[in-house]
Amino acid sequence: MSLTKLEVFEKVVEVGSVSKAAEALGLTQSAVSHALASLEAEWGFSLLQRDRSGVRLTSNGAHMLKYVREVLHWHEQLKQQVAAINGLEWGTVRIGTFTSVSSQWLPPMIQTFRTAHPSIHMKWFEGDYEEIHHWIVNGIVDFGFLSLSASKTLDTIPLKKDPIVCVVPINHPFSNQQTVTLSQIEREAFIMPKWGSDHDVRRILKENRLTPNIQYEIVEEQAIMAMVECGLGISILPKMAIYRPPEHIRLIEIEGDHYRTIGIAATSFSHLSPAAKTFIRCLFEWLNEQGMLDFPIERRFMLT
């Protein structure tokens, strides 16, 4: 069994296609197909089902994928540790992220990081909290950004308190107020952000025993703001989610201490690769310089 066969198998699963995997790996389609067939012959069972829509894991393939990813993870760790002993920086960091972070933090932060560490490459995967949690647990990413209310059993480090604010059209009666109460919001036509059962808006409503007058449930923040602007209801959103708001809406503070805690999560930060640990130290440094770090830096990632 060669690592190349495992890398081919993992890449085909990641991209869902033999042809796309071949392109990503710089191989021919026949070479990818041969590697898969050889691995299946060596192990004695099928790993993938192939049809017109692409490839799908068999039950045995799904069972083996976690172990394949673990082997590839530790192989990556081995190469990075060897490079570190030789005084080199090298590797790939895989990050799970959601829209607020990937639109506002990662582009300038990665630009700064690449200047300082040009031999460390970045891959980020964007999804919702549940997807990011799944990617972390299953080794698809090294670590991920999450609202820590959705982190469950992971090892976490808090970074920033992101206030939850009320979003109203500019001609709404609330627009003349400096703050609004949750009980006032409860009486209005409401647009519910639909990010899954653990998201922060639903958590705040549940903690305060409020039942809003839900008219619509929408996933995309930009669509929510467009509906608010058209007078179809009001909503509450994390402030960082409101990126470049439309001209005719207003953001109003909600009375009380309501926020989501944005942080990073991993199965274990102590087991991260040298490249991932370097990225996290640079992340702390960048957030601190931008005045966006609301929690002390943990000793294990103290800046030097």
Q: Domain 1-65: give its CATH architecture.
A: Orthogonal Bundle (1.10)
Q: Tell me the average pLDDT across 186-195.
A: 89
**Phi, then psi, of 68 in degrees rounded to 5:** -60, -45
Q: Which CATH architecture has domain 161-260?
A: 3-Layer(aba) Sandwich (3.40)
Q: In this model, does residue 214 exceed pLDDT 60?
A: yes
Q: In the prediction, which pLDDT does 224 show? A: 93
Percent of the chain with pLDDT over 90: 42
pLDDT for residue 197: 46
What Å distances lie between residue 281 and 88, 198, 233, 286, CA to CA?
A: 17, 29, 42, 9
Please compute the mean of the pLDDT values over residues 282-299 and round it to a whole number: 89
Range with the lowest mean pLDDT among 1-10, 64-73, 77-86, 212-221?
77-86
Angle, CA 229 vertex, CA 227 and CA 233 arms, to 5°: 55
**Do 281 and 301 meet the contact criterion of CB atoms below 8 Å apart?**
yes
**Nearest-CA neighbor of 58 among 84, 86, 75, 39?**
39
DSSP-derived letter for residue 300 is G
Cβ burial, residue 184 (10 Å; 0-12/13-18/19+): middle
Share of the chain above pLDDT 70, in %: 94
Nearest by Cα to 269 from 279, 259, 261, 255: 279
Q: What is the pTM of this model?
A: 0.71
Taking alpha carbons only, the member of 94, 101, 110, 207 closest to residue 149 is 207
Domain boundaries, given as residue ranges, for the chain? 1-65, 161-260
Same fold, 1-65 and 161-260: no
User: Mean per-residue pLDDT for 49-61?
Assistant: 84
- pLDDT at residue 136 is higher than 80: yes
Q: What is the mean pLDDT of the chain?
A: 87
Task: Convert the pLDDT of each residue in 266-285 to its tens digit.
Answer: 999 988 888 899 999 999 99
- Contact yes or no for 262/159 (Cβ under 8 A): yes
Quick one: pLDDT at residue 155?
Answer: 93
Contact 250, 168 (CB under 8 A): yes
What is the arithmetic mean of pLDDT over 10-27?
86
Per-residue confidence band for 126, with pLDDT thresholds at 50, 70 and 90 = very high
